[in-house]
Amino acid sequence: MTKLEPRSLHSFSKWESILNTHEQEQRSLGRLLKQGFWGVVAIAVLIASWRLSEISPADFWAGLPRLGNWLTRLWPPDFAELPDFLIATAETLAIAIMGTLTATIAAIPLSLCIARPLSPIPQLAPVLRLLLNLLRGIDTAIFALFFVSIVGLGPFAGVLGVAFHTTGSMAKLYVEVLETLPLEPIEAIEVTGADRLRTFIFAVLPEALPGLIGITLYLWEFNVRSSVILGIVGAGGIGYEVLVSLKLLDFSRLTTILLLILAMVSAIDALSAYGRKQLTLNP
């Protein structure tokens, strides 16, 4: 058997090193070209978005004097219609509560049908996921506008709008909680011959309840804020009074409404944050 001379071994190692270096350079060049391509795409998207959005700093600066004039007219607030505004604010809060409650009732069975360890019909899960994406993709105000044409003007259309949009978001988040549950308690209950209802009550619910409540509180907090604008599309609440004030250019009236909205949203945010904190401290 012929042995390689030291010089031949050295030459072989040298060529191997050159080839490895060349391959690394090729890979680096490929990554650089790929990053450069996506960088160009991102810049093109930003430029197109700027033009399609018709952003005009000149128009903004030209409108600042008008904005300053409006701001000076916001004070003092006009409390003459305060009782009516309080009723409208309570209506907005009621829309958020009932819409969130309805969404919760719908989201629980949907999430149980989609979550992989719990779904009784796994083949149905992809179709239901598409349904959730559709519900989440349509804004609350669009749903409310649609239901105004069906049930007429008023808060009921707002409740339906909130419920349909929130069902999509809530069920998706519920699924994420359910799919991260430990399987041992579920399997232990199933071994005893328990049906799906008992499995859910005794194995799934105790583990998932803190997460589900936290999600529900967060979405309720979000729905309170989103319900404010529903009055603009005729779905009831304080948003309608905002629209009237803007149409009349009655800024003192608008200030009173904005103060009520601020107080309501701040109180709900604090209550929701407190509830979620308690769940964290006492799981």
Residue range 131-149: mean pLDDT, rounded: 87
| Inter-residue contact 183 to 117 (CB < 8 Å) | yes
Q: What is the average pLDDT score of the chain?
A: 78
pLDDT surpassing 70 at residue 25: no
The whole-angstrom separation of Cα 216 and Cα 189 is 27
The whole-angstrom separation of Cα 43 and Cα 48 is 9
Which carries the bigger pLDDT value, residue 128 or residue 279?
Answer: 128
Task: Give the pLDDT confidence of 212-248 residue by residue, as tens digits.
Answer: 888 888 888 888 888 888 878 777 778 888 888 878 7
C-alpha angle with apex 268: 264 to 269, nearest 5 degrees? 115
Give the pLDDT score at 110: 87
Name all domains of the chain by residue range, CATH numbers in brackets.
81-281 (1.10.3720.10)
Task: Give the pLDDT confidence of 63-105 residue by residue, as tens digits.
Answer: 677 767 777 777 777 777 788 888 888 888 898 899 999 999 9
Of 25, 92, 116, which is closest to residue 265 (Cα–Cα)? 92
Q: What is the pTM of this model?
A: 0.72
The whole-angstrom separation of Cα 174 and Cα 176 is 5
- 6-15, 58-67, 180-189, 242-251: which range is least confident on average? 6-15
Confidence of residue 133 (pLDDT cuts 50, 70, 90): confident
Give the pLDDT score at 4: 47
